[in-house]
Amino acid sequence: MAAVLSEDPFQAVREELGMGKTNLPAFQATTPGMSVMTLEVPSVQSKEAWNAFLEMLSLSDGLVILRLEDKADFDEEGYLHRSPLLSQIFELVDSRPMFIICVCKGPVRSSMMFFPGIASLVLATKDATFGFPDFAQGKTCEFASVALRKRLTDVVQRRLFLVGDSLDAYEAQRLGLVDFVGDDETVENEICRLIYRNCSPKTQYFMHKPDMVEALAGKEAEE
């Protein structure tokens, strides 16, 4: 045990810098923060656009910001609910270390409810609403319900599907679907804060206890 404690873990560093044993009581190492990528997610897109989104998401790591844009436009192609795209996105997100922030502004309906379900954090403006309208239930991908199980209970989901009413941002926050509610400026400031917190480089200090003891003893002797 004594032999193990007497080993100097910083010996290679000292030799590289040409410093004595007591001249390096501590050193610092800076590690880069997470990378960040922002992806716009319109509710009505072509097959090629949705596959391009999947490809971009597969190349992402670290912090991913999804900005939803759900309009009331009629989707003639209906690729989102007819294809296995959402199941592929769910498998991708579940298998990779990504910190996903979902930004919701305005209405979020039907299959687009999938994205708040897979997000690590959901930020919503005060005018955001969520739900499964009656006329669009036949065009809702079943994987939206699977993803929402991470945030909503089966009872709440059943009510949303059967009744067809919508939730405002504060009610969605009360039920656990949304984590943060504010106006446009407050939401954007929160996004900036999260980027700064998670993507800034971090500095760590490494110390060897015998070095610190000798350095303190030398300082006390000088005083």
The answer to whether residues 121 and 166 belong to one domain is yes
Strands 62-69 and 36-42: parallel
Nearest to 110 by CA among 135, 77, 87, 132: 132
pLDDT tens string 187-213: 999 999 999 999 888 887 777 677 777
Which has the closest alpha carbon to 53: 96, 89, 6?
A: 89
**Quick one: 171 and 143 in the same domain?**
yes
Selection from 35, 6, 38 nearest residue 21 by Cα:
6
The predicted structure's pLDDT at residue 136: 66
pLDDT tens for residues 168-190? 999 999 999 999 999 999 999 99
Query: Do 15 and 46 share a domain, yes or no?
Result: no
Examine the pLDDT at 5 and tell me if it is beyond 60. Answer: no
Q: Give the residue, 34 or 217, on which the prediction is more confident.
A: 34
Q: What CATH number does residue 87 fall under?
A: 3.90.226.10
Task: Verify that 22 and 88 share a domain, yes or no.
Answer: no
Q: Are residues 102 and 183 in the same domain?
A: yes
Does position 41 have pLDDT exceeding 70, yes or no? yes
The answer to whether residues 57 and 101 belong to one domain is: yes
Per-residue pLDDT reduced to its tens digit, 136-159: 667 788 888 889 999 999 899 888
| Strand pairing category for 36-42 and 98-104 | unpaired
Residue 74 has pLDDT above 90, yes or no: no
Q: How deeply is 131 buried, as exposed, middle or buried, from its count of CB atoms within 10 A (0-12, 13-18, 19+)? A: buried
Same domain, 129 and 43: yes
Could you tell me the residue range of the domain that residue 209 belongs to? Answer: 2-31+201-222
Q: What's the structural domain count of the chain?
A: 2
Do 143 and 183 lie in one domain? The reply is: yes
- Over 80: is that where the pLDDT of 21 sits? no
What mean pLDDT value characterizes the chain?
A: 84
Confidence category of residue 23, pLDDT binned at 50, 70, 90: low
- Identify whether residues 168 and 99 lie together within a single domain: yes
Query: Same domain, yes or no, for 218 and 131?
Result: no
- What confidence score (pLDDT) does residue 19 get? 63
pLDDT band at residue 1, thresholds of 50, 70 and 90?
very low
